[in-house]
Structure 1
């Protein structure tokens, strides 16, 4: 219990301190560039997701969950930092429907370095690391095909994020990878259906998929980590 509270506090504070990062990537200007090519001087406006600091409670909940997992210290630290990065990405995606390459790349570096360190320190095996890398490549390639087939449904940001999130899932098992993907599409589909039924959206309304990728991965990691050996 105390570990979860500490994790929630630490990641919540870290997320609050990272607010400038979210603002930088999620702010948009109220007017477009003029016909002469001169950029508008209108002040930037931000989404309610950003104004309400959605990344802070997201990171706090993730921190509590990570600290409750029965994992080694290196893997726990890796998942915690990854959860923080994911909270920032989810908030930006909700705000502007974009997953910035720099944030996704930073998340990838954190996860790969953490899994490598966990392997070297005996918290996992080289087979676990190889499976994680294979999962990242396989899921990234699969999502790229989906993106090319349905460009209006998935973006390249979703492709990159899916590949990165497949790394920790693959570390646990291929079953965790499959579970994460299924949960992502199921939760995304249910929310889209609910919005359609409530007439809050139509078939042309863009819906950010990054949050559902993150949710599916988080649930799958939790289930895999808590499963009996």
Structure 2
């Protein structure tokens, strides 16, 4: 790894740590069951100001534990994701898009694991922002992707997940379908082989997780699991491999 790449990885990690430290509050506010509005009060009933920041209430008594996931864990997780993306992408301009979208992926993962829900404000924003931002990157010299393929992959992966949802709506949430549009754009940037790899990895990770729960007797074979984190994990792996190979 060259000195410039090492510095880039460090900067990306610092960005990830800073962004991740702001995720506990939105993770708490978004972590509600379907058909319920987003949380606007702490567990003690005090109003929550804003959407970004630590999940602590200034009006609660001193020593009251955070009401959401801990900031250090999210900061470390996001920093590692961003550092890995920087190491794979190097100085190519699409790295800016990956670093902007990475905290959203981490936030979606946390929320889906907590309540098995993928909030529309996040999935729909991702579905629109990913191809739009990549369209801007396509105008910049030295990029390594293909924007038309990213657009087609957006539609293809979204449509594929929609068909799977129609076949078995009990095994997959419609939030996964909406998330697939954004994942398709990101994976499609590096070509159809990356799309196939990322999609396969997502299903593989989900299957391994499900069977691990069955073996440990923590769930039954027909119990639904949150699939969003594995869709995101598969897209992350496919993106890393696609960026290294580009």
- With normalisation by structure 1, the TM-score equals 0.84
SS in 1 for 2:189: helix
- Residue 12 (1) aligns with residue 17 (2): yes
Provide the residue aligned with 1:35 in structure 2: none
* Alignment partner of 1:99 is 2:104: no
The 3-state SS of whatever aligns with 1:120 is coil
More helix by share: 1
Q: Which runs of 5 or more residues in structure 2 are unaligned?
A: 1-5, 37-41, 46-54, 56-65
Q: Secondary structure at the match of 1:17?
A: coil
Q: CA shift at 1:100, angstroms? A: 0.4
Asked if 1:118 is matched to 2:137, the reply is yes
Question: In the alignment, does 2:242 pair up with 1:224?
Answer: yes
Mark the runs of 5 or more structure 1 residues left unpaired by the alignment: 33-40
Question: How far 1:190 moved relative to its partner?
Answer: 0.8
What is residue 127 of structure 2 aligned with on the other side? 108
Contact preservation (8 Å) 1:49, 1:91: no
C-alpha contact (below 8 Å) 2:183/2:235 kept by paired residues: yes
String of CA shifts for 1:61-90, please: whole Å, max 9, x gaps: 111111112344531110011111101111
Which has the larger displacement, 17-26 or 76-85? 17-26
* Equivalent position of 1:59 in the other structure: 78
| Counterpart contact for 2:8–2:90, Cα < 8 Å | no
1:49, 1:64 → 2: CA distance?
28
Match of 2:188 in 1: 170
CA apart distance, 1:108:
2.6
**Which shifted more, 132-141 or 10-19?**
10-19
Residue 106 of structure 1, CA deviation: 2.2
Matched positions, count = 214
**Is the CA contact 1:82–1:107 (under 8 Å) kept in the aligned structure 2?**
yes
Q: Which is worse superposed, 162-171 or 116-125?
A: 116-125
CA distance in 2, matches of 1:225, 1:73: 9
Partner SS for 1:65: helix
Q: 1:78 aligns with which of 97, 111, 118?
A: 97
Distance 1:187 1:18 in 2: 24
CA distance in 2, matches of 1:25, 1:162: 19
Q: CA RMSD in A?
A: 2.6
**Whole-angstrom distance in 2 between the partners of 1:88 and 1:112:** 20
User: Secondary structure of 2:153's partner?
Assistant: helix
Is 1:23 matched with 2:28? yes
156 and 55 in structure 1: CA distance in 2 versus 1, 3 angstrom threshold: farther
Q: CA deviation at 1:43?
A: 4.9
Number of the residue aligned with 2:214 = 196
Contact 2:24 2:69 in 1 (8 A): no
TM-score after normalising by structure 2: 0.79
Distance 1:49 1:82 in 2: 25
1:139 to 148, 157, 180: 157
Contact 2:123 2:178 in 1 (8 A): yes
Q: Which moved more, 1:3-12 or 1:185-194?
A: 3-12
